[in-house]
């Protein structure tokens, strides 16, 4: 059983974040690949690099950085 508190954490590491949101991130990636408006996301785009870039824009990454500064 997954830890129910994990749902409320806002400082997930990238692996934890991917485990939690993998299906949503994969679906979002596929939708960007199919949209001609986003020409920079094509068949040659690496999913892992793209998802890391997406993660870095989340509150999780921001909170981890803030904790490291303290």
Nearest CA among 25, 67, 27, 70 for reference residue 48 = 25
Q: Provide the pLDDT for residue 24.
A: 94
Cα 44 to Cα 58: distance, rounded to the nearest angstrom: 24
Task: Quote the radius of gyration of the chain (alpha carbons, Å).
Answer: 14
Q: Provide the pLDDT for residue 41.
A: 74
Q: Provide the pLDDT for residue 7.
A: 58
Q: Provide the pLDDT for residue 22.
A: 93
Give the number of other CB atoms < 10 A from CB of residue 66. 11
Q: Provide the pLDDT for residue 37.
A: 83
Q: Provide the pLDDT for residue 1.
A: 43
Q: Count CA within 13 A, CB hemisphere, residue 55.
A: 23
Chunked into runs of 10 residues, the chain (70 residues) has average pLDDT values of: 60 91 92 80 81 90 85
């Amino acid at each position: 059983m997954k830890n129910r508190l994990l749902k409320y954490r806002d400082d997930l590491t990238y692996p934890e974040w991917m485990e939690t949101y993998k299906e949503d991130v994969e679906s979002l990636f596929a939708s960007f690949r199919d949209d001609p408006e986003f020409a920079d996301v094509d068949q040659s785009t690496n999913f892992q690099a793209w998802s890391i870039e997406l993660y870095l824009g989340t509150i999780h990454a921001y909170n981890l950085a803030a904790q490291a500064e303290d």
